[in-house]
Chains A and B, each alone.
Chain A
Amino acid sequence: MEKRGVRKGASFPISPSSILPALPFLLIFGFFFLFPISRLIYVSFMSNENTFTLGNFQTAFEKPYNSGFVNSIKLGLLSAAITAIPGAVAAYFIETRGSSRLKRTISSMNGVLANTGGVPLAFMFTAALGIQGFLTQALKAVGIDLYANSFSLGTFTGLLIVYLYFQLPLMIIVFSPAISSLRREWVEAATNLGANNLQYWLRIGIPLLLPSFLASFLLLFASGFSAYATANALTVGNVPLTPLQIGGLLDGNVSAAQLNLGKALGVVMIVISACAVIPYLLIQRRVARWQTR
């Protein structure tokens, strides 16, 4: 026993109860993340004279910032709602029918579109859906004249279209693990026990996928709600969106009366985002029980 204890000790330069090995991580995480976020929250309650106030939040819910929230939430919800089901279906067929090579390739490409695409995607659509764009002309040829109603990518609808382009890949990425966690044994056991296809889906398949589907929807909402790059590249202040408003305030277009307004907007964004992401994380954790056993 004792010998084992000694050897175990030798494995760690420091006793297991010490937090020393985690210290670099905790320090960097604390300084570069927890500190700025706490300071953001703290400052959002500060008036220009550095006294406590709720005034920043009051302004945050007044015009024009309230419509910023409404638009951002709408953009998040709509872009998630439109892509969730097609993305889930695509993920299902790719995961269950695709070769591992295909799955891997698609997931890498989706990663590019969903995570790094923001600005390039905006310019891509500027070209594709510009007045002279091939797609615009093609749509016109089949009777859809985008520019009949003074269409522009820098409108709510325009942004929505571009957002779909990274939301659908994101849905496929986020939902695929749920599909691959459906075991073949479950379909076979259900069949063996007398269930037809429909009964399997109603009793087993859908109940197992539903939590992950909701979780994915929440994550998509958060992603659409807080996206900045695409909107920043496409609009010129004509669509009120909270991330753009915060960006504007940060760049100094701010009257002395609202010195810390941007911080309050940021805090409200965090709260809204947390309302989606925290349930997402909790559901993922719960579902992991099914996925490991």
Chain B
Amino acid sequence: MSKENLILQSISKRFGAVHALDNFDLEVKVGELVALLGPSGCGKTTALRVVAGLERQDSGAVKLGGRDITNVPAHLRNMGMVFQAYSLFPNLSVEENVAFGLQMRKVNKRDRQKKAGELLELVGLNTQHKRFPHQLSGGQQQRVALARALAFEPEILLLDEPLSALDAQVRSNLREEIRRLQLSLGTTALFVTHDQEEAMAISDRVGVMSHGKLEQIASPDSLYNNPATEFVAGFVGVMNYIPGYQNGKSVSILGSDFKVKNSSGHQGATSALVRPESITVVAKENSSNAVVVTRSFLGASSRILCKTLDGTLIQALVPSEESSELIPGAKVQVKISANEVLVS
């Protein structure tokens, strides 16, 4: 395969007074699935549309390997895009939709149909090829859109929140399927979403964006365990903000001292960032430092919401078999089981 890395070089794009992209850099390697994650308005969709050529950046370059494609018009870029919803052509059948890209590339009818058939088989819709989009469910429509975007073997597969209009069940099935297809075809993919669970579940790397900039890009594991900034920590997974006192490289929270991971040498009041699974909760009548507010059973583990004596709410994730006594009102001892913590 002659596919090449996608490189975005210091892209800037403004809409009026809003910086949608602010000196944005990104590299997606061949065969990789990279997700851009961020709140709405962070510029992730703009980045995708710049790659597709549907939006023109004010400055910066889009490259495929060494080739600058900034000036290539959108219809010649060979990028396959899956839109949020309703992007199938309503006047064309499923098969004609999937074959559309090939038709535009002057592929003859027999080859088009064959290829469309293969793709529909891959997304499990080969029996539906004569149907029209309005006869399909939302999930089926997005499968067809996926097949359509892949049919002409694009350089990059671009996914613009393709699951956001679907029901939860369909959503998680389809996201696994996107990953499966992307891996088996070896397609390079850029996936835009505001749903962190979705991004973490299927990506090789996740780029967290805010205000037109990349805050951090890393594998889901390291993003979760070693968030580079407070924004990333707060956006990825659940995070407790526990008030404490920082003394240079250590911080004192809930009566114990911890090493500060992102040492700033700051002195004084601060908040420590602690994941729920790094907190232990033990029922203790006499030496308690908190009270259980609610207990939510989640299966193997339970989420315990406690209130410390000074009023801070802390969420903890506790194995369910150890949490049967942690009923609302129970006096408990809350401890932090990590060695190092982030402070804000």
Interface residues on A, range: 20 to 34
> A104 within 8 Å of B by Cβ?
no
> B105 within 8 Å of A by Cβ?
yes
Report whether over half of chain A's contact residues are helix, strand or loop; otherwise say mixed: helix
Whether the Cβ atoms of B75 and A196 lie closer than 8 Å is yes
Within the complex, the shortest CB–CB distance from B164 to chain A, in Å, comes to 14
> B24 within 8 Å of A by Cβ?
no
Whether the Cβ atoms of B89 and A194 lie closer than 8 Å is no
Inter-chain contacts of A289 with B (CB < 8 A): 90, 134
Inter-chain contacts of A256 with B (CB < 8 A): none
Whether the Cβ atoms of B75 and A186 lie closer than 8 Å is no
- Chain B CB count within 10 A is highest, among A185, A189, A196, A207, for A189
**Residue interface mask A159-202, B partner, CB < 8 A = 1:** 00000000000000000000000010110111111111001000
Whether the Cβ atoms of B134 and A293 lie closer than 8 Å is yes
Inter-chain contacts of B100 with A (CB < 8 A): 190, 193, 195, 203
Q: Which of B67-98 contact A (CB under 8 A)?
A: 74-81, 83-92
* Known contacts A289-B134, A293-B133; A194/B78 CB under 8 A: yes
Whether the Cβ atoms of A193 and B104 lie closer than 8 Å is yes
Whether the Cβ atoms of A290 and B81 lie closer than 8 Å is no
**Residue interface mask B299-342, A partner, CB < 8 A = 1:** 00000000000000000000000000000000000000000000
- Which residue from A185, A191, A204, A290 sits with its C-beta under 8 Å from B75? A191
Whether the Cβ atoms of A188 and B86 lie closer than 8 Å is no
> A208 within 8 Å of B by Cβ?
yes
Inter-chain contacts of B104 with A (CB < 8 A): 193-195, 199
Query: Once the chains are docked, how many angstroms separate the CA of A290 from the CA of B79?
Result: 26
Inter-chain contacts of B83 with A (CB < 8 A): 185, 188-189
Q: Which of B162-192 contact A (CB under 8 A)?
A: none
Within the complex, the shortest CB–CB distance from B83 to chain A, in Å, comes to 5
- Which residue from A192, A196, A208, A293 sits with its C-beta under 8 Å from B91? A208
Whether the Cβ atoms of A193 and B152 lie closer than 8 Å is yes
Query: Once the chains are docked, how many angstroms separate the CA of A224 from the CA of B52?
Result: 48
Within the complex, the shortest CB–CB distance from A201 to chain B, in Å, comes to 12
Ordered by A's residue number, 9 sampled pairs between the chains whose C-beta atoms are within 8 Å are A185-B87, A186-B87, A189-B88, A191-B53, A194-B78, A195-B100, A204-B92, A208-B91, A289-B90
Hey, which bits of chain A sit against chain B, CB under 8 A? 183, 185-186, 188-196, 199, 203-204, 207-208, 289-290, 293
Hey, which bits of chain B sit against chain A, CB under 8 A? 52-54, 74-81, 83-92, 100-101, 104-105, 133-134, 145, 148-149, 152
Q: A191-B75, A192-B81 are in contact. List 16 more A-B contacts (CB 8 A).
A: A185-B85, A188-B52, A188-B54, A188-B87, A189-B148, A190-B75, A190-B89, A192-B75, A192-B77, A193-B149, A193-B152, A199-B104, A204-B92, A208-B91, A293-B86, A293-B134
